[in-house]
Copies of this chain bind each other. A is one copy, B any other.
Amino acid sequence: MSQDTTSPKARRGRPPASPRNTPDTRTALIRSGLEALTEQGFMASGIDGVLKRVGVPKGSFYYYFASKEAFGRAVMQHYGTYFAYKLDKHLLDESRRPLHRLDAFVADARAGMERHQFRRGCLVGNLGQEVGGLPDGYRQWLQTTLDDWQQRLARCLKEAQTAGELSETADCDRLAEAFWIGWEGAVMRARLERSARPLDTFIAVYMAGLPR
């Protein structure tokens, strides 16, 4: 991810009057925030660190976002869009059989974690773990997002059922829910062990346990 998309000329004094002039700074702040939140979660992430990565003064931050809370919401929004796109890229890929699409998503996510030396987790998992101390409304967003992911996966599992890859009696909604429950645990464990092994163990046992 690009971490420096600010204008080459450093700005001084008051921030610019119109946000339309600096969409790149806002995007860079969100990207930096995403890195911080996937690495450290919400409470441990300071705005100073986010600004430092991007190289903008604090005044600029409050020009784009009313508060750390509003910033967190923007980061979640960005992540939600990104992740839904990534999921669809795999789960709607008709060139593969339905269950292979899930394998492809896992392989993609695994490669992403490896690329960042297993330092970054899932934003939803990180925030979910600290939900007791988060601003109002974050909990709802996390639940809605997980429900959305579950529905996308359940559709893919139902296609697998239609294609004869899964038993006719399989409860695809429940299997999809179990996938995301286990997946968040696997991502957490992969960060802990700094290894892809937990992701591999999880998906192997999940796939082997599906009713065929």
Contact = CB atoms under 8 A, between A and B. Distances in A.
Interface of A: 39-41, 43-44, 119, 121, 125-126, 128-133, 139, 142-143, 146, 174-175, 177-178, 180-186, 188-189, 191-193, 198, 201-202, 204-206, 208-211
Contact of A129 (B139, B188, B208): B188
A131 B209 contact: no
Contacts of A40: 130, 132-133
Given A125-B129, A201-B181, A192 B43 contact: no
Contacts of A146: 189, 192
Nearest to A120: B132
Nearest to A126: B129
Contact of A43 (B43, B186, B205): B43
Count of chain copies? 2
> Which label, helix, strand, loop or mixed, suits the secondary structure of the A interface?
helix
Contacts of A177: 198, 201
A193 to B, nearest CB: 6
A184 B184 CA distance: 8
A190 B181 CA distance: 10
A82 to B, nearest CB: 21
A44 B198 contact: no
A115 to B, nearest CB: 16
A192 B128 contact: yes
